[in-house]
Amino acid sequence: MDSQLQKRLEKARELIEEQTEFRILTHYDADGICSAGIIARYLKDRGKRFHISFFRNVDREKILAIVEQEENVILTDMGSSMVDELTGNVIVIDHHKVSTDNESIVHINPHLFGYDGARDACASTLAYFLVNDPILAPYALAGIFGDKQYIGGLTGLNRELVERLSLKIRRDLVLSGNVLNAVTYSTEPFFPGLSGRKENVEKMLEKLKIPPSKDVENLSEEEKTKLGSYLALNLIKNSKNPHAARYIVDVDINLGGSVRYLTELIDSAARTDNQGIAMSYILGNKSYLERMEVLRKEYKSKVLKALYNILDNLFQKGRITYFFVEDGYLASTLATITSIYLFPPDRVIVAFYNDKMTHISARCSQQLGKKVHLGDILSSIASKLGGYGGGHSVAAGATIPRDREQEFLELLQQEIEKSLS
């Protein structure tokens, strides 16, 4: 680990030891909840008091107003975009691209120390290195998996975390639990005609001679091979992404249970507006596990219904495929799933959600992200349209005034072509 990063982490520990009460502000997704949860558990174990607030969008004015009112503030999975406006006892633990630093606060961001925040470390990784408590390792890993930083192999600080804990990375089917439900409710991967279609999954399992009540973990190697091959064929036939089938067998880490499954539990609670339930679980209340499992099933059902709906309501503009969603909590999930499993890797996927403003989630493949930095592009366009935005090269978001979607798409198409040329 970079020595300057270590100094920042130590400075954050010192500030925490000196104070007794904190306001924690965090993003609402898996990485946001896990990073804030790791910090909150650390504070709780030291007898500190804290109050946590979750943000779906980076509401700059609201966040800055809270920071101004509170004596001690910790921002996780956000904050770097406004770091030059922060003062006082503030700790920022973020991994999004940053244009400046602020040494008057404690600013912890991998980009400042030679790491890639889209690949080498998420906020949960940094939070874990701050607390350095193996009991909280599952939540650091859930943050990494929630941010899709495991794809292509763990690198940078993510890899260092796994090596420090002497964890073994295994490759296996990405499904877990009862095989009938595992395929029926699978959203990542999304199997067209099988995911969300229980009767079709039953016919498939009957054809493969696999008992529907058997857990995936208990399948024989022969059964796993048959199931994996059938599902791979489904994606080869139905997906326009030639790489989609490779994600049926992917990495996982066992820490008394699948990290992938833990990630789904936390993410489902987050995206059904039950962040408090996931946070309570991380803080040690295991009685919420059953409720989180119910939320996981409910959320996946919503995702599957929305996926089939948008497949019939897609729009094209140049290199952009876009669609509108009715539930803002589904926008980023649907953009991610469609970009990985359904559409060609040379397209940018955009999901729109409207309330008082228009909220945008954009995704592209790692291949396209080497030339097109969505975070930079969305930040620039949103600013021109009277909004705000940012993010990583392959995953970004923005908020703009309503009824300016077509202007946004025109500018986005121009920026994509400019980057590619």
Q: Looking at residue 107, what is its pLDDT?
A: 96
Closest to 42 (Cα-Cα) out of 89, 9, 7: 9
Element (H, E) at 248: none
Q: Looking at residue 7, what is its pLDDT?
A: 95
pLDDT in tens, the chain (421 residues): 788 999 999 999 999 999 999 999 999 899 999 999 999 999 999 999 999 999 887 778 888 999 889 999 999 999 898 898 998 999 999 999 888 899 899 999 999 999 998 889 999 999 999 999 999 999 999 999 998 898 878 999 999 999 999 998 888 888 988 899 999 999 989 998 999 999 999 999 999 999 999 998 899 999 999 999 999 999 998 888 888 888 888 888 888 788 999 999 999 999 899 999 999 999 999 999 999 999 999 999 999 999 999 888 899 999 999 999 988 888 989 999 999 888 888 999 999 999 889 999 999 988 888 899 998 999 999 999 999 888 888 888 999 999 899 999 999 999 999 999 8
Would you call 1 exposed, middle or buried from its count of C-beta atoms within 10 A (0-12, 13-18, 19+)? middle
The residue whose two tokens read 């030639």 is 242
User: What's the sign of the alpha-carbon dihedral 392, 43, 287, 54?
Assistant: negative
CA distance 230 to 19: 57
Query: 30-45 and 137-146 are packed helices; what angle lies between their axes, rounded to 10 degrees?
Result: 160
Q: Looking at residue 268, what is its pLDDT?
A: 93
In sequence order, the 6+-apart residues with CB closer than 8 A to the CB of 304 are: 185, 187, 190, 195, 196
Q: Looking at residue 156, what is its pLDDT?
A: 95
Q: Which domains does the chain have, with CATH numbers?
A: 3-153 (3.90.1640.30), 172-252 (1.10.8), 313-420 (3.10.310.40)
Q: Looking at residue 389, what is its pLDDT?
A: 87
Pair of tokens at residue 200: 């079709």
146-184: burial string, b at 16+ Cβ within 10 Å, e else: bbbbbbeebebbbebbbeeeebeeeebbbbbebbbbbbb
| Other beta carbons less than 10 A from residue 191's beta carbon | 25
Element (H, E) at 361: strand 357-363
DSSP state of 244: G
Strand partners, 315: 322
In sequence order, the 6+-apart residues with CB closer than 8 A to the CB of 119 are: 149, 152, 155, 156, 158
Strand partners, 54: 26
Q: Looking at residue 241, what is its pLDDT?
A: 80
Coil vs helix vs strand at 323: strand
Q: Looking at residue 229, what is its pLDDT?
A: 93
| Per-residue CA distances from 133 to 51, 75, 109, 138 (Å) | 21, 20, 20, 10
CA distance 221 to 136: 32
CB 202 within 8 A of CB 180: yes
| Per-residue CA distances from 212 to 180, 189, 375, 403 (Å) | 5, 19, 43, 48
